[in-house]
């Protein structure tokens, strides 16, 4: 009957907390989250308790021999635990007990927390002896403002703010604005920016065109910057580039295309920033250059010729070969030709329908005088009347009314007398 009226009054009053750590027998009396008293206490048994004080027991003035009543007053929690200066579950110093009685009589609710917290708090560091995330979360924030996510295991954790080692990079784009970017050499931290009197938090500070006074505050230290970004004229153009050409090195690709050189046909956007203007270029990259086409023919034996084609272009090409007006299915290989003149025509076409032509005539029979000499800088394969030999020159003389066919230097010759 005594408890309920008290609880109704206590709920309307300020709360105070009595926190006792059984790990080191240290107690703390908090009022409005501030430590008012620090003391040592005693407990008879290991207690884990979250409760509140509901009664102040005062011994009666009469003495009854057959009823052993306590002779000292004490405080009682809602779960029946007692707090006093002697012969109670929790024994506290006299000055602490007197303060608790004073608060209780004034109608202030007193919360009682008794538990084991293997943590020691010093002015510049804390020591975690056993890692228990819930107990750390419950105990440590009462004493220090610390990022609990940094505590991952038992050990010593410094409370000193880290030495800030940071460089600043200032970028600006005339006509657009700029940014101040911190480059941390130590652990990153939050920054409060003050730009033209406006406060906000962000990883970097941004500013528009114009002159600005910017402050960056980190761990209580203020960095000041004066920046200025000029206005610029801007205009757009459309330009046509040949594939393989290069843009000015000041161009910035907005399409992800490397401009050195332009190797991909299509339409792309480039930005050029100059001191007095910004140029936006819509570039069309095209291929209007014809492929480079060559034909190579050499005679391997009488009537047998080897030919090949080579083509170079910035884009993919197709090649067609015609022999005496008839299309061939190959672009290189061996040809069997009769003893007359032949014409090989090759046509190359790239992806943009640019075409190139190459024409070569093959003469497989040449008339020579009855005597003469052919001299070359290198040795040749020579066949005369079925006799083969290698020589850098050939000299002949033919009797009257005699003819012979000579194969040399990849060509066929007919030697006759007149």
**Cβ neighbour number for residue 146 with a 10 Å cutoff:** 16
In three-state form (DSSP H/G/I as H, E/B as E, the rest C), the secondary structure along 36-86 is EEEEECEECCCCCEEEEEEEEECCCCCCCCCCCCCCCCEEEECCCCEEECC
Considering the domain delimited by 166-229, tell me its CATH architecture. Sandwich (2.60)
**Domain boundaries along the sequence of the chain:** 3-116, 120-158, 166-229, 233-286, 292-363, 366-415
How far apart are the C-alpha atoms of 99 and 108, rounded to whole Å?
A: 11
Instruction: Given CATH 3.40.50.720, say whether it is the number of domain 3-116.
Output: no
The whole-model pTM stands at 0.41
pLDDT for 200 equals: 87
Q: What angle is formed at CA 113 by the lines to CA 108 and CA 114, rounded to 5 degrees?
A: 140
CA dist., res. 277 & res. 270, Å (int):
14
Per-10-residue mean pLDDT of the chain, 418 residues long, equals 39 71 92 89 88 89 67 90 91 94 91 93 90 91 87 88 79 83 79 88 87 87 88 78 74 66 78 74 83 85 84 86 88 83 88 86 61 62 68 67 56 49
Residue 52 has a pLDDT of: 92
Same fold? 3-116, 292-363:
no
Check: CB of residue 92 under 8 Å from CB of residue 39: yes
User: Looking at the domain 292-363, which fold is it?
Assistant: Immunoglobulin-like (2.60.40)
For 149, phi then psi, to 5°, come to -65, -20
Return the pLDDT at 376: 58
pLDDT for residue 84: 93
């Amino acid at each position: 009957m005594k408890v309920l009226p008290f609880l109704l009054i206590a709920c309307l009053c300020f709360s105070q907390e009595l926190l006792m750590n059984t790990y080191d027998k240290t107690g703390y009396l908090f009022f409005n989250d501030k430590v008012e008293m620090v003391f040592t206490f005693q407990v008879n048994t290991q207690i884990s308790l979250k409760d509140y004080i509901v009664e102040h027991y005062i011994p009666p003035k009469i003495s009854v021999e057959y009823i052993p009543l306590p002779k000292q007053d004490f405080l009682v929690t809602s779960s029946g635990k007692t707090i006093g200066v002697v012969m109670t579950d929790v024994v506290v110093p006299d000055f602490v007990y007197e303060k608790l009685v004073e608060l209780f009589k004034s109608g202030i609710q007193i919360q009682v927390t008794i538990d084991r917290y293997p943590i020691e708090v010093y002015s510049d560091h804390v020591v975690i002896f056993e890692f228990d995330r819930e107990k750390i979360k419950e105990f440590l924030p009462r004493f220090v403002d610390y990022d609990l996510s940094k505590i991952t295991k038992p050990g010593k954790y410094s409370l000193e703010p880290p030495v800030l080692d940071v460089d600043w990079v200032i970028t600006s784009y005339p006509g657009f604005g700029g940014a101040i970017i911190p480059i941390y050499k130590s652990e990153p931290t939050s920054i409060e920016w003050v730009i033209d009197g406006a406060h906000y938090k962000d990883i970097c500070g941004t500013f528009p065109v114009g002159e600005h006074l910017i402050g960056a505050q980190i761990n209580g230290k203020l960095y000041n910057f004066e920046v200025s970004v000029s206005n610029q004229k801007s205009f757009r153009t459309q330009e046509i580039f040949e594939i393989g050409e290069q843009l000015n090195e000041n161009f910035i690709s907005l399409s992800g295309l490397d401009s050195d050189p332009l190797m991909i046909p299509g339409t792309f956007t480039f930005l050029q920033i100059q001191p007095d203007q910004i140029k936006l270029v819509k570039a069309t990259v095209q291929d209007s250059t014809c492929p480079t086409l060559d034909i190579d023919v050499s005679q391997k034996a009488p009537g047998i010729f080897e030919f090949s084609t080579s083509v170079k272009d910035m884009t993919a090409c197709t090649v067609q070969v015609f022999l005496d007006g008839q299309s061939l299915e190959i672009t290189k290989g061996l040809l069997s030709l009769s003893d007359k003149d032949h014409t090989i025509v090759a046509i190359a076409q790239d992806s943009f329908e640019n075409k190139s032509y190459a024409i070569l005539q093959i003469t497989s029979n040449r008339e020579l005088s009855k005597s003469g000499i052919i001299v070359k800088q290198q040795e040749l394969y020579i066949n005369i009347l079925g006799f083969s030999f290698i020589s850098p020159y050939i000299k002949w003389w033919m009797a009257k009314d005699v003819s012979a066919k000579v194969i040399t230097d990849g060509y066929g010759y007919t030697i006759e007398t007149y």
